[in-house]
Amino acid sequence: MAHRNTATKTPNALRKTLVPLALAQFICSFAGTNMNVMINDMSQDLHTTVQGIQLSITAFLLVMAALMIPGGKLTDKYGRKRCFNVGLAVYGVGALISAVSPGLGVLILGNSILEGVGTALLIPPVYILATLLYTDLASRARAFGAISAMGGVGAAAGPLIGGAIATGISWRAAFIFQALVIVVIVVLSRRNVQDPLPADPTRSFDTMGAVLSGVSLAMLVLGILAAEQNLWLMIGLIAGGLVLQGCFLVLARRKEAAGKEPLLSPSLFKNRTSNLGLITQNAQWLMLMGMSFTVSAYLQVVRGYNAVQTGVIFSATTVGLLATSLAAQRLARRHTQRMLISVGFLLTMGGVGVLLLMVAGRPSVWAFTPGLLLIGLGVGLMLTPSVNVVQSSFGENQQGEISGLSRSVSNLGSSMGTAIAGTILVSGITSSPSSAYAFAMVALAAVGLIGLAAALLLPPVSAPQAAPQPA
């Protein structure tokens, strides 16, 4: 392995490196939720429907999930810094196109496709660089904590910031805001972000594996979206997606057996701890994004709140997530990762239950606050240990692969959360809004039970001990 030149990095230099990396995770997570509070404004301005905006949001998350594994693999071939910069450029162009979009088609091009592709290119380098640059076990845990916390804050604060911008200026200005943040990241990263490992242009890239992986994930999520329209289409898409996933894994095994490099090594799935951590990542993002879309759509379509009112309601989630995220390092020293993730799921499911009990029949906007606060506390508590469990299960030589897989699984959870909750909600929001809202929230709570079961099976190891020694 090539020598890593990180010895000259001072603590101050490493902190400066962390700022653009964490900010990149923030803006990508922000993009996944800020549109939720602009559903009415955007659908009217673009002459489309709630389903149309839901499609754009879900497609953005889906493109990220489908391309995150190839994006992680490309970092080995072309370098982490280069992929990071290209991703920022593509994302910025997508944000500008979204800001001037005259209709749903152009919005999908800019927001769903270009911003999704940009995110898939820039996010894997964020986690790989953090792993490579922060060689000290404690500092690496802090770096993961800061980055994952900023991701959670971006998702939780998206409705509040997006709502304020949309109400004060226009929903289009929210995309301009994203483009401006991208410019700030580019400026900060030019001097402060350096790739500690040289790129290897001779590394092969599994194009067929990338196609099979991306198409199979897309079919799974599209199958969920098709549930409202056609049951047989839903079954066909999901079945086709599972078949292609099987083909992808068979191809990967054959390539590895022949001494070639597959897109994703099947050996990654032999690590039980990592597998359980991936399940918790998928479940927590599915719950957070599904809840965000469900509550946002209900408040706007059923109760008639505008973007800023909806965003203010979600500030409770932001406050809760910030509180536990900022305490993540201190909590990790006192409690095992298994306990933190398990308690996080319990708090999040408790928040969903409170939302169901207190909102039913109560017109007051404050009825949403306790439940949203609990959800924020729960998600913030488990974001950092979930990331650390997965990333720290492998050495440096596999960080490109596991980072792409980890981010893909998380974003697949995000897209499935919007698809599942959105499909349930949209299908009954006009005929029986209260029942549709209740069914969507119950579905999210059921996912929480799966995440909790996986968390309880994790080994009771503290965060610093779980991190690997540099290879």
Q: Which residues are CB-neighbours of 129 under 8 A, at least 6 positions away?
A: 17, 21, 80, 81, 84, 193, 195, 196
CB 300, CB 40: distance < 8 Å: yes
The pLDDT, as a whole number, for residue 3 is: 44
Q: Say yes or no to pLDDT of 326 above 90.
A: no
- 128-148 average pLDDT score: 74
What crossing angle do the helices spanning 231-257 and 207-225 adopt, rounded to 10°?
160
Domains of the chain plus CATH, in order, are 15-205+263-466 (1.20.1250.20)
Mean pLDDT of the region 51-73: 81
pTM value is: 0.75
At 221, list the tokens: 């999520």
Confidence of residue 323 (pLDDT cuts 50, 70, 90): confident
pLDDT at position 182: 95
* Residues 394/268, Cβ–Cβ less than 8 Å: yes
Whether residue 108 is predicted with pLDDT greater than 60 in this model: the reply is yes
Question: Region 252-273: what's the mean pLDDT?
Answer: 83
Residues 314, 319, 325, 326, CA torsion sign: positive
- Give the pLDDT band of residue 99 (cuts 50, 70, 90): very high
First to last CA, the chain: 8
Q: Which residue has the higher pLDDT, 184 or 327?
A: 184
